[in-house]
Structures are given as C-alpha cells and as structure tokens.
Amino acid sequence: MSPAQTAGHRAERPDDQPVLQVEDLTVAFPTEDGVVRAVRGMSYSVAPREVLGIVGESGSGKSVSSMAVMGLLPRSAQITGKILFRGEDVLRMSGRQQRGLRGRRVSMIFQDPMTAMNPVYTVGDQLAEAVRSHSAVPPRAAMQRAREMLDLVGIPQAEARLRAYPHEFSGGMRQRAMIAMAIINDPDVIIADEPTTALDVTVQAQVLDTLMSVKEAVGAAIVFITHDLGVIAQVADRTLVMYAGKPVEIGATAEVFREPLMPYTAGLLGSTPSAEGTRAGERLRPISGSPPSLISLPRGCPFGPRCPLVRDDCRASEPQLTRGGPAAPAGAGLPVVSADHLGACHHSDELLAADDPTRFFRAESEVTP
C-alpha cells in the first residue's frame, strides 16, 4: 500500500488501519565466521487490538525481528525493509524520534524482567520514571499512575509494593510489574517476547490471563513470541510460523492449527501436548534434526533436510509464501483455504489431503492404516 493510500484509509476508517506493518524485513550480522542471515524477508501486519502469535524453534529469528521493530538491535546489524507504525517508517526516523516511539507507542515485555528493570531503584520509581520520560507529568501524578497500573495487573497492596525493589518480588509479580511498565503509557502495540517461559505452569497461566485482560483495558495490539504452540492456541488471533529467518506460514490461528500448509507447522503440532492439533491418545514426536546454519543455508527449502515430504523440487528452489489449496468452493476434495492463510511449501496439497497432517512425522509402525 502506498503512503497516500495508507493516509486516505486512515482518514476514513481510523480503527482499521494496521497499527504495525513490517514489510520485507531483513537483518544480517557480519561476523568473523561469515554473515548471519538472521531475518530473511519477513512481512506481517497487526490490526488494532489483535494478538499475532509468532512461533518457531530457537534461533529462527523471532527475537531479532522484534528487536528490529523496537529499534534495539546493535549497530553491527544490517537492516533493510520497512517497519511502519500507523504508516510511519521507524527505519527512517532519527534516534530521538525512535526513542519517543519506544515505551510509548510500542513497548516490550521480555522473558527475564530483571534485564529490563534496574535493581537499584524501587518498582514505583521505575514505573513513574517511565511515565515522566514521555510526558511532563508531576512526580506525584506519575506515582499515582504507577499505583493504578500495579492494581490493574493484580499486584496486591499496590501502595506498599511501589516502595519495594524488583528483587523483593516473586518471578510472577516481577513479570506483572513488567506488564504494568509496558502499558503505563497506553501503547498501540506491545511486543511480548517469551513473557511467561521462565515461570512455572500455574504462574504462567495467571500472568497470561493478566496480559490478556490488561490488553483489553488499554486497547493495545500484541505481538506474542513463543516457542509453545499451546500458548499460541490460547492467546493468538493469528499465527505466524518462523523457520530459519523466514515466515513459513501465516493465518488465522484456528485455521493454521486445523489445516497447516507447511510440514514444519504440522511437525510442531505433532510435538506439542496442549495444541488443538494433537489427537487424543497420540504419542508426541519431536521433529528430528536441527535447523540449518544461518551463515550457509542449504539450496532450496531450508526445512527440506528434515522434511518427510521432501522431493527434488524442494532442493531446487525455496518455496515462497503462497495460498495453498483451492479457492472457494472446494475443488478436488481439498479443504478450502482462506485468502489470508499462506504457507511456504511446494507440496501443501499433500498436507491438505491428509486427515491428520501430523502423521507424516510418525514412524510407519505408529501410523494406523
């Protein structure tokens, strides 16, 4: 969409315009061993109040792509593409403009809150400072706002907790305080990078609930990064699957889980206990092998060496994101795939034709005829 179209669209229907658009983002890191191609062409958009889940194995580029959106990558990073907040390109902004955006229009929640909090200041001081760094609010009003935010994220005795230091909080409470910090300036987008991975299961569920309820309260969209499809199933409206620095599938979460277009997604579904795609009584099976080096990718599909459906054409060219299967109404007996469900595989139709797409990842002996 051209900037003119974007602007016109915004004037007509302000709530429909994506709050964040990432267009053909690439990130490379020159290193002594060669160039690490961490992100190799990533595009997505996030609508107001939408939750986009990003899932993929360790090293697939989830964090690097979101650090690019936040403008937090090291100087050595070579970045191309566009990152638009309500139509404005972050990569063309000055450092000062970027800082004005960060923590205000877009904020981030990390896996380990201790990396984002300063151990020598009280939680209240840090929250109040987050307010005052973006607007001229008197100290008492900023502290009042901090107290309201601790209330909102369900921290009991908020008044007293304002005077506590981060290390005096439990892991779950610290993560709630991080959520408070992330919403205190009413952002349009919150990027949550594995926000609950370090917590035990019960606390994880509580913190997820908190995040989802405050999202409604402040009206923010969320980009939710995780390696856990079970969590994605709970929170994400749409899901983007990353492999070797590229999105390999994107679509409405229910549809991605029901009719995966990319064997890697099917493999993830077959290896996740709580994912909807797992059939009752079925054995879980991790995908064998490991992702390729981002310094020297194999020719063709980067998932090819681990893929049970691999053929010669997969080794010849890397598949691009395309719509799989028939358009409306179903042809050839295959399920209908909606226009915004895309997968990067030369053989999506084989997955679509299977009753249980995870079966390709099971040994012959396990497959019931």
Ligand X SMILES: Nc1ncnc2c1ncn2[C@@H]1O[C@H](COP(=O)(O)OP(=O)(O)OP(=O)(O)O)[C@@H](O)[C@H]1O
CA distance 273 to 36: 32
Q: How many CA atoms, within 13 angstroms, populate the side-chain half-sphere of residue 68?
A: 33
* Alpha-helix residue ranges (DSSP H) falling in 162-259: 171-183, 201-218, 229-235, 253-258
Q: Which helix (H) or strand (E) holds 248?
A: strand 246-252
Please choose which of ligand X, Mg ion, none residue 272 contacts, taking the beta carbon within 5 to 8 angstroms, the exact cut-off set by kind: none
Please choose which of ligand X, Mg ion, none residue 61 contacts, taking the beta carbon within 5 to 8 angstroms, the exact cut-off set by kind: ligand X
Compare residues 68 and 345 and give the one whose CB is closer to ligand X: 68
Compare residues 21 and 63 and give the one whose CB is closer to ligand X: 63
CA distance 141 to 137: 6
Please choose which of Mg ion, ligand X, none residue 59 contacts, taking the beta carbon within 5 to 8 angstroms, the exact cut-off set by kind: ligand X
Please choose which of ligand X, Mg ion, none residue 38 contacts, taking the beta carbon within 5 to 8 angstroms, the exact cut-off set by kind: ligand X
Compare residues 294 and 342 and give the one whose CB is closer to Mg ion: 294
Placement of tokens 């029901």 in the chain? 258
DSSP state of 355: S
Q: Which residue is nearest to Mg ion (CB)?
A: 63
Q: Which helix (H) or strand (E) holds 44?
A: strand 34-46
Contact between residue 25 and residue 80 where contact means Cβ atoms under 8 Å apart: yes
Strands 189-193 and 322-323: unpaired
* Alpha-helix residue ranges (DSSP H) falling in 219-327: 229-235, 253-258, 263-270, 312-316
Min separation Cβ 220 and Mg ion, Å: 21
Q: Which residues bind Mg ion (CB under 5 A)?
A: 62-63
Sheet arrangement for strand 51-55 = 106-109, 189-193, 221-226, 51-55, 238-243, 246-252, 342-343, 322-323
Compare residues 68 and 183 and give the one whose CB is closer to ligand X: 68
Compare residues 59 and 324 and give the one whose CB is closer to ligand X: 59
Min separation Cβ 221 and ligand X, Å: 20
Min separation Cβ 368 and ligand X, Å: 33
Output phi, psi for 296, to 5 deg.
Answer: -135, 90
Q: Which residues bind ligand X (CB under 6 A)?
A: 29, 31, 36, 38, 56, 58-64, 74, 227, 294
Please choose which of Mg ion, ligand X, none residue 69 contacts, taking the beta carbon within 5 to 8 angstroms, the exact cut-off set by kind: none
Please choose which of Mg ion, ligand X, none residue 31 contacts, taking the beta carbon within 5 to 8 angstroms, the exact cut-off set by kind: ligand X
Min separation Cβ 41 and ligand X, Å: 14
Min separation Cβ 294 and ligand X, Å: 5
Min separation Cβ 193 and Mg ion, Å: 6
Compare residues 161 and 227 and give the one whose CB is closer to ligand X: 227
